[in-house]
Amino acid sequence: MRALMQLFKPKGAVAKPTRRRTSRAALRRRYGIMALSVVIFLGGLGAGAWQLWQSGIVDQAYTKASDAVTAWGERQVQNAGLTVQHVFVTGRGETSKKQVLGAVGVRNGQSILAFDPVQARQRLLQLGWVETARVERRLPDTIVVRISERKALALWQHKGRHVLIDQGGKPITRRHLARFAHLPVVVGKDAPQAAAALIGMLSQQPALFAQVRAAVRIGARRWDVRLKNGVKVYLPEENATAAWVRLAALVAEHRIFERDIAAIDLRLPDRLVLRLTPEAAAKKSKNGKDT
């Protein structure tokens, strides 16, 4: 019967393939080979990428791309008119225009969006004369700078050099000090911090204060004041204001500066001690009286 069916089978018919069962071991070998191939492929990619990174090619390509994007952005900003064309500065007196512009760090035609007001302000505050600073960016093309400057108080003599200080004792500058020669000189390690209180007290007696040349800080406790006529005034640690007022009255009423005085000691609250110059002391010793 099977033979008859094969005889009458239509021509051109294709016999169905016989299915063969694949063993599990063969499948495991096949999948293992495929997995190994993938690992080898990815490993090759990784090694190649690492070699490219080590060679610097990737970094160079990134830098060029970044520069290109930045340049494109700047061109767009320039085309939109957002570039610095004006810089207005107020409050400048002692600080030069060159110093201000150098600290602001902006150039004409620069992208105003790329300008950083915060960093500009920090640089301005590093200038000796600048006490406060404010920097504003005003679109489309203007930078506004407002500064306030320190007030010179005295010259601080330290390690043989002079530096101009403000009321807080902060150094301002060491340059071009000749025009500040009229200010009193303070000497001592902690003199800058205590100078404002001293000068405020001394200036309450204007006529006597005009005679002050320098003040030396003694033991971080009190002051010795040097006058322009060479007289030294020893101020007490306590009640220095009262002692200074008393000296001003003596100078005005008794003209004690017309005598050959080398020093005036005000450290005793109930008396005033005058010390004569060596010449006057020698004459007094010789004659037995004050000449």
Per-residue pLDDT of the chain (291 residues; tens, 9 = 90+): 333 333 334 444 444 444 445 566 665 666 556 655 554 555 555 555 556 556 666 466 545 644 554 555 455 555 567 999 999 999 999 999 999 999 999 999 999 999 999 999 999 999 999 999 999 999 999 999 999 999 999 999 999 999 999 999 999 999 999 999 999 999 999 999 999 999 999 999 999 999 999 999 999 999 999 999 999 999 999 999 999 999 999 999 988 888 899 999 999 988 889 998 888 777 766 665 554
pLDDT digits (tens, 9 = 90+) for 241-291: 999 999 999 999 988 888 899 999 999 988 889 998 888 777 766 665 554
Measured CA to CA, the distance from residue 100 to residue 81 in angstroms comes to 25
d(CA 167, CA 154): 8
According to the model, what pLDDT value does residue 281 have? Answer: 73
- Residue closest to 183 by CA, chosen among 175, 168, 194, 195: 195
Instruction: Select 86-149's CATH number: 3.10.20.310, 3.40.190.10, 3.40.50.300, 3.40.640.10.
Output: 3.10.20.310
What per-residue confidence (pLDDT) applies to 19? 47
What CATH topology corresponds to 152-287? Rossmann fold (3.40.50)
Where do the structural domains in the chain lie, given as residue ranges?
Answer: 86-149, 152-287
Whether the ω angle into residue 140 lies within 30 degrees of 0, i.e. cis, is yes
pLDDT tens string 74-88: 555 555 679 999 999
d(CA 222, CA 236): 6
Q: Please tell me whether the overall predicted TM-score, pTM, comes out greater than 0.85 for this model.
A: no
230 close to 224: Cβ distance less than 8 angstroms: no
> Whole-angstrom Cα distance, residue 190 to residue 246?
27
